[in-house]
Amino acid sequence: MFPRRLLAAAAVAAALATLTSCKGEDDAKADAPESSASPVPAKSRTADPSAAPSASASASASSQASPPSDPAPGTGEPTFDCTPRKLAKGHRMVQITGAPSGGALLAKEAKFACDPNGGGYAGTGKAARFRLASGATAELAIGAVDHRKVTVAQLTEHVNACLKHEPVKQPLMCSGDIYELTVTGSGDVSHVSEVWHP
């Protein structure tokens, strides 16, 4: 008789674990009692204390672990919940389609979209000319949070190489042609910053 009860308790526990893991995160939080952190009924936990939790129970418990911390500010990367960071006034995200030339650069406005990798920016619409302000500055990504200040001439060399899929000087890397522009009140670009994205 005891093996039947144990088998029935295990079957109920497996069914509950499967149902719990199939619910949406919000549904599971709303339906779950606050005092119980385990999807396994109390009766089956006391029936065999040496029994290990099922794989689906372990998976649902690990999915409730705390989320990773947000990326460093200024990286252009989204937060862990797949929302883009708020841009400062006068800043805009673009996908550069042409290296700086004749005091301007060609770029498309970039919009943020979520994807399986957490999301990112992509150019949309037609490319437009963005006029560079006198004394404009630039920086290129050398990792997730670090940048190297460069001249507009070095920016031009880097963008040309990236657009042609040619190698660039280390520790620089091509990072998807997405840049954050700082735009003055008159509409000129005063600063160009490459956004790192693996």
Q: Are residues 99 and 173 in the same domain?
A: yes
Neighbours of 11 (CB within 10 A): 11
Nearest to 136 by CA among 102, 86, 182: 182
Count of structural domains, the chain: 2
What pTM did the predictor assign?
Answer: 0.59
**Lookup: tokens for 185:** 């009140």
Q: Which residues contact 141 (CB under 8 A, 6 or more apart)?
A: 147, 172, 173, 175, 194, 195, 196
Per residue of the chain (198 residues), give pLDDT as tens: 455 665 556 565 555 454 444 444 444 444 444 443 334 444 434 444 444 444 444 333 333 433 444 444 445 554 567 888 889 999 999 999 999 999 999 999 999 988 887 788 999 999 999 999 999 999 999 988 899 999 999 999 999 999 999 999 889 988 889 999 999 999 999 999 999 875
Residue 46, domain extent: 2-63
Nearest to 175 by CA among 81, 79, 110: 110
Boundary (domain end) residue, out of 46, 63, 80: 63
